[in-house]
Amino acid sequence: MNSFIVHFILSIKYLSCKDKIQNVILPNYIGELLSNTRKHYANNNYTTAAVTITDGYSYDHAGRMLATTEQINNQTPVALASETPDLFKLGQQV
């Protein structure tokens, strides 16, 4: 699966910090976000990130979000949300 990466850099000089954001997006007509990585650099140290937060997203074949995970630094990823669509109930009246 091919994807493309979008980079953003935010710098606040008076706080001596910088944030780098990297989004990995599917090149389909919807542009689904696969992952988002935010790296925070502090105290003018722009080589080693003080905090790294990575969010991951998964989708079904119709582009509906199924799961969201978040990982802080090297900790185990945590599931923030997950949804299993009941395909047999789609289109049925409740």
pLDDT truncated to tens, each residue of the chain (94 aa)?
566 777 777 777 767 888 899 988 877 767 788 999 999 998 888 788 899 999 999 888 878 888 999 999 999 999 988 776 565 555 555 5
Is 91 a domain residue? no
Is 29 a domain residue? yes
User: What is the span of the domain harbouring residue 11?
Assistant: 4-82
Q: What does pTM read for this prediction?
A: 0.76
Q: Which residue has the tokens 């998964």?
A: 58
Is 64 a domain residue? yes
Query: For the chain, how many structural domains are there in total?
Result: 1
| Beta strand segments in the chain, E | 4-12, 17-25, 33-41, 51-59, 65-72, 78-82
Q: What angle do CA 30, 24, 69 make, to 5 degrees?
A: 95
Is 89 a domain residue? no
